[in-house]
């Protein structure tokens, strides 16, 4: 139990974060699943006595927050992420204020870029003319080419995170030993800001934000110590996972999309769209995935001066 969480606002913040993850889950959520997810987060992380002390008004507010974020989760439109910008920024200091919730703050902080870019894209995408007698048509998702250009501009002057300096060379040696291009270690900048303690409300953890089931499948232990939060095992797991996904899809962009959204999701959209390229399916992927892939690509270009298209495939 967390004894130091005394703020009612922090309870709401934790519950809000439970439903802000778009990627890393292959199942669609309905209202009951969202509420169950919030309850599970609360039971694991929050003081039960404090939860019971919440007045009815706060419970109603939590329900409204859950419904609001559920709409965003179920929406494939990148532009809708802009609506999360101010809420996320107001929640972040609350999470940073307590050691028990700092891992969630590390996860959220790396995703603030998504909300900023979504807002910039929203301002650029033209509003379609409405048809008389019909509801206004939704704005189309920007193409992957537009998003790549946006991310390259946003990251063109950004220095590497200070937390990367002591561990990047070690991570690169691990990726090289797994026969995966060492430049892909910069996935950790996008996923966690090189904070090995980062944790998502969906359960992903560590530098490379591996889900529990994925970590187990890759041979990582979760007991007595969760190896997702240890630098070397987590890097080995991420490298193996990326190698496996590239073997399945034959393309680094598709492999990264599957890393974020799940291989099943990517495979299904490829089949539905009858294409074999990321650009052919990007606008039909979850909003976070549409952001994740070009951000990784722009990050690698900034840090290593190489594009994903020029990365070699894994060595056997």
Q: Which residue has the higher pLDDT, 202 or 176?
A: 176
Distance (Å, whole) CA 5 – CA 136:
44
Closest CA to 17 of 201, 268, 183: 201
Instruction: Find the mean pLDDT for residues 245-257.
Output: 98
Of 48-52, 231-235, 275-279, 291-295, the range with the lowest mean pLDDT is: 48-52
> Around Cβ 93, how many Cβ atoms within 10 Å?
10
Percent over 90 (pLDDT), the chain? 56
Architecture of domain 119-124+138-310: Orthogonal Bundle (1.10)
pLDDT at 154: 96
C-beta separation of 162 from 308 below 8 A: no
Instruction: Find the mean pLDDT for residues 193-219.
Output: 93
DSSP codes, 259-275: HHH-HHHHHHHHHHHT-
Distance (Å, whole) CA 76 – CA 142:
12
> Around Cβ 67, how many Cβ atoms within 10 Å?
13
Using alpha carbons only, give the angle 245, 218, 282 rounded to the nearest 5 degrees.
25
- Give the model confidence (pLDDT) of 223-247 as tens digits: 999 999 999 999 999 999 999 999 9
- Whether 54 shows a pLDDT value over 90: the answer reads no
- Give the model confidence (pLDDT) of 261-271 as tens digits: 999 999 999 99
Of 8-12, 129-133, 244-248, the range with the lowest mean pLDDT is: 8-12
pLDDT at 16: 47
* pLDDT-derived band at 25, boundaries 50, 70, 90: very low
Domain limits, the chain: 119-124+138-310
pLDDT at 72: 60
């Amino acid at each position: 139990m967390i004894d130091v969480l005394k703020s009612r606002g922090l309870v709401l913040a934790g519950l809000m974060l439970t439903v802000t993850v778009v990627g890393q889950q292959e199942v669609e959520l309905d209202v009951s699943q969202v509420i169950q997810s919030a309850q599970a987060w609360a039971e694991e992380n929050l003081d039960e006595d404090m939860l019971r002390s919440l007045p009815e008004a706060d419970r109603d507010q939590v329900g409204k927050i859950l419904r609001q974020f559920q709409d965003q989760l179920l929406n494939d439109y990148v532009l809708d992420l802009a609506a999360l910008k101010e809420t996320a920024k107001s929640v972040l200091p609350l999470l940073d204020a307590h050691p028990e919730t700092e891992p969630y703050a590390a996860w959220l902080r790396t995703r603030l870029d998504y909300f900023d870019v979504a807002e910039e894209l929203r301002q650029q995408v033209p509003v379609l003319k409405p048809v008389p007698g019909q509801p206004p048509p939704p704005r189309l998702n920007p193409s992957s080419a537009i998003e790549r250009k946006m991310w390259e501009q946003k990251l063109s002057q950004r220095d590497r995170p200070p937390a990367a300096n002591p561990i990047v060379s070690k991570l690169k040696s691990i990726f090289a030993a797994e026969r995966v291009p060492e430049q892909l270690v910069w996935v950790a900048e996008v996923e966690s800001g090189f904070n090995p303690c980062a944790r998502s409300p969906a359960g992903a953890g560590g530098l490379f934000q591996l889900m529990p089931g994925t970590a187990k499948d890759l041979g990582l232990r979760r007991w007595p110590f969760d190896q997702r939060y240890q630098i070397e095992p987590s890097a080995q797991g991420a490298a193996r996972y990326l190698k496996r996904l590239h073997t399945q899809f034959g393309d680094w962009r598709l492999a990264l999309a599957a890393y974020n959204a799940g291989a099943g999701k990517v495979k299904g959209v490829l089949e539905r769209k009858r294409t074999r390229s990321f650009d052919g399916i990007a606008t039909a992927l979850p909003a976070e995935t549409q952001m994740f892939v070009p951000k990784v690509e722009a990050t690698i270009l900034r840090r290593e001066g190489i594009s994903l298209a020029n990365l070699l495939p894994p060595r056997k």
